[in-house]
Amino acid sequence: MKCLICKHGETQLGDTTVTLEKNGSIIVIKHVPAHVCDNCGEKYVDSEISAELLKKGQEIINNGVEVDIREFQSVA
């Protein structure tokens, strides 16, 4: 798709790191599938993936974790 930010680039499949922060807890999820702009580098994560990450992140935080770094494969 065309990049919404720079309006010139085309997005390519790649991955990104998503950080969730809530109530002082920080969850970092690496290698999340994303569409990456080949011009400006803006990253787009599909809405169902980000919804899933929010849900998983909330579960992790509910377990009392303050800082956690996960691979996307291990949470999805």
Burial of 48 (0-12, 13-18, 19+ CB in 10 A): exposed
When asked if residue 29 is in the footprint of Zn ion (CB under 5 A), the reply is: no
Residue 32 CB coordination number (10 Å): 22
When asked if residue 18 is in the footprint of Zn ion (CB under 5 A), the reply is: no
Give the nearest distance from C-beta 35 to Zn ion in angstroms: 10
When asked if residue 37 is in the footprint of Zn ion (CB under 5 A), the reply is: yes
Q: Which of these ranges, 15-23, 28-36, 42-50, 53-61, lies near Zn ion under the rule CB under 5 A?
A: 42-50
Give the nearest distance from C-beta 9 to Zn ion in angstroms: 4
Binding site for Zn ion (CB under 5 A): 3, 5-6, 9, 37, 39-40, 42
